[in-house]
């Protein structure tokens, strides 16, 4: 299941989000909960995804102006034990990790410790120079470096432990580039593995330590971290996969994510991802100017939703009045994070079932539409 080769850009998603951005009404300071009709509809949408066997379990949430106006879960986190999914259930975040890694890189840029346009050998001296051209940190963030994606299903469903990010980078660093850096978009999780190693080299601490102190703790994310293969986590969901015929099976061979940690090796919960979105909106992690830079398109044309620095951009791409976020899918998860700063709105969907990423995106769009239906507390 080579989920990383998928292009997360969906035309219908772009059109729907464009429509929502320009038709929703502004949310007032005291409007803090969904109205009854919208809440019922949101609950039904969530339940339907389980009833229709799209997800085994799913949790989702809507935050407006840091108010959790709606949080809900449906289905099972473990069918074998009849354990139900709840809003505290921990699941994998898959590629949503890329947005967090990108924020961490920009923090180092703000501190003057990292130059986006310097060759990556400035920070990783032993990274091989390429005949196709010079790779920069900016290229890695924009997914235009030309580093190839997973070579085989064996790398996708990795079972080998990589003790360090240097070990993980060794897997692909000697491979030829797919194109001259900066001339084409080529989505590859390995771009972000290199970024993780750059963070370590520049900061002088491990990637995990840096993320814990500068992203997760700063954002108040108490249930987010690096997934360790075969480790046990309280209230963590089992992993499921929905095949092409629509049948869901238990994914009894969980892959080891140590070959991709900065690009897709985290666990989290709905409340934490909402908090991450809120921290981005409120400039708690990077400045508004830096966020605007991240949401500026590269000079490389890309079909579908443009990609900024660690963000897919939907609707009014390239500015903070639009919607941006990231999709995620790997063994045992289909997820979506969406952020609209102008409305101070964050929507998160986390399902414990891979093979259903389109449905996770669709659900997030429908919840975003419902997020305009709010009322004042006590009405």
Q: What does the pLDDT profile of the chain (379 residues) look like in tens digits? A: 444 434 444 444 554 554 454 444 444 445 567 899 999 999 999 999 999 999 999 999 999 999 999 999 999 999 999 999 999 999 999 999 999 999 999 999 999 999 999 999 999 999 999 999 999 999 999 999 999 999 999 999 999 999 999 999 999 999 999 999 999 999 999 999 999 999 999 999 999 999 999 999 999 999 999 999 989 999 999 999 999 999 999 986 779 999 999 999 999 999 999 999 999 999 999 999 999 999 998 989 888 889 999 999 986 544 455 899 999 999 999 999 999 999 999 999 999 999 999 999 999 999 999 998 876 665 5
H helical segments located in the chain: 11-23, 36-51, 97-110, 137-142, 153-156, 165-170, 189-203, 207-211, 261-264, 270-281, 288-294, 357-370
Characterise 148 by phi-psi region: left (phi > 0), alpha (psi -120 to 50), beta (else).
beta
pLDDT number for residue 169: 98
pLDDT number for residue 58: 98
- Closest by CA to 63, choosing from 368, 285, 377, 375, is 368
- Closest by CA to 236, choosing from 256, 266, 194, 195, is 266
pLDDT number for residue 236: 96
* Tokens, residue 249: 């099976």
| Residue 181: domain span | 3-376
pLDDT number for residue 317: 44
Phi, psi of 117 (to 5 degrees): -105, 5
| Cα torsion through 224, 228, 233, 237, rounded to 10 | 80
| Residue 280 contacts residue 102 (beta carbons within 8 Å) | no
| Residue 298 contacts residue 186 (beta carbons within 8 Å) | no
Adjacent-strand bridge partners of 150: none
pLDDT number for residue 12: 43
Position of tokens 């951005």?
21
Displacement of CA 25 from its chain's centroid (Å) = 27
CA dist list (Å): 222 to 205, 262, 269, 311: 20, 18, 9, 23
Report how far residue 327's alpha carbon sits from residue 94's, in angstroms, rounded to the nearest whole number.
8
pLDDT number for residue 4: 42
| Residue 300 contacts residue 184 (beta carbons within 8 Å) | yes
pLDDT number for residue 377: 62
| Residue 286 contacts residue 106 (beta carbons within 8 Å) | yes
Report how far residue 241's alpha carbon sits from residue 2's, in angstroms, rounded to the nearest whole number.
13
| Residue 8 contacts residue 336 (beta carbons within 8 Å) | no
**What single-letter DSSP state applies at residue 159?**
-
CATH number of the domain that residue 278 is part of: 3.40.710.10
How many domains would you assign to the chain?
Answer: 1
Task: Tell me whether residue 46 is exposed, middle or buried, using C-beta atoms within 10 angstroms of its C-beta: 0 to 12, 13 to 18, 19 or more.
Answer: buried
């Amino acid at each position: 299941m080579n989920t990383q080769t998928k292009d997360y850009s969906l035309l219908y998603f772009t059109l729907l989000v464009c429509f929502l951005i320009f038709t929703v009404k502004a949310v007032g300071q005291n409007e803090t909960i969904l109205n009854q009709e919208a809440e019922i509809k949101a609950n039904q949408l969530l339940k339907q995804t389980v009833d229709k066997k799209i997800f085994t379990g799913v949790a989702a949430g809507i935050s407006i102006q840091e108010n959790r106006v709606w949080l809900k879960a449906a289905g099972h986190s473990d069918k074998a034990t009849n354990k139900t999914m709840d809003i505290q259930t921990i699941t994998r975040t898959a590629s949503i990790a890329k947005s967090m890694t990108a924020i961490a890189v920009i923090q180092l840029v703000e501190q003057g410790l990292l130059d986006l346009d310097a060759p990556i050998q400035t920070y990783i001296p032993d990274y091989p120079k390429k005949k196709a051209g010079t790779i920069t940190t900016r290229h890695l963030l924009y997914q235009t470096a030309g580093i190839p994606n997973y070579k085989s299903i064996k790398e996708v469903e990795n079972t080998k432990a990589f003790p360090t990010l240097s070990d993980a980078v060794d897997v692909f660093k000697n491979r030829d580039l797919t194109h001259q850096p900066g001339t084409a978009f080529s989505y590859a999780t390995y771009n972000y593995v290199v970024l993780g190693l750059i963070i370590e080299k520049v900061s002088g601490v491990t990637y995990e330590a840096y993320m814990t102190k500068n992203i997760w703790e700063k954002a108040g994310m108490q249930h987010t971290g690096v997934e360790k293969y075969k480790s046990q986590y309280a209230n963590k969901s089992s992993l499921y996969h929905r095949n092409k015929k629509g049948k869901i099976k238990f994914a009894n061979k969980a892959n080891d994510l140590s070959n991709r940690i900065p690009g897709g090796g985290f666990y989290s919960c709905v409340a934490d991802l909402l908090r991450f979105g809120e921290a981005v909106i409120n400039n708690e992690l990077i400045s508004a100017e830096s966020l605007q830079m991240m949401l500026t398109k590269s000079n490389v044309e890309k079909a579908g939703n443009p990609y900024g620095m660690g963000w897919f951009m939907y609707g009014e791409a390239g500015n903070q009045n639009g919607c941006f976020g990231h999709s995620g899918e790997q063994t045992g998860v289909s997820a979506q994070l969406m952020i609209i700063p102008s409305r101070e709105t964050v929507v998160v969907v986390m399902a414990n079932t891979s093979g259903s990423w389109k449905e996770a995106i669709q659900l997030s769009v429908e919840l975003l539409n419902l997020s305009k239906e709010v009322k004042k507390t006590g009405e």
